[in-house]
Amino acid sequence: MNLGKLNEKCPKCGCKDKTLKRDLDSEFHAHAKTGSLTCSKCGYVFVSKDDEEQDKKKDKTGTD
Compute CA distances 37 → 5, 17, 27, 28, 50, whole Å. Answer: 9, 10, 24, 23, 12
- Is the entire prediction scored with pTM above 0.85? no
What is residue 60's DSSP assignment? Answer: H
The pLDDT of residue 35: 75
What stretches of the chain adopt beta strand conformation (E)?
A: 18-24, 32-39, 45-48
Residue type, 14: G
* DSSP β-bridge partners for residue 22: 34
Q: How many domains does the chain have?
A: 1
* DSSP β-bridge partners for residue 21: 36
The domain containing residue 44 runs over which residues?
3-50
pLDDT band (50, 70, 90) for residue 6: confident
| Within-domain flag for 39 | yes
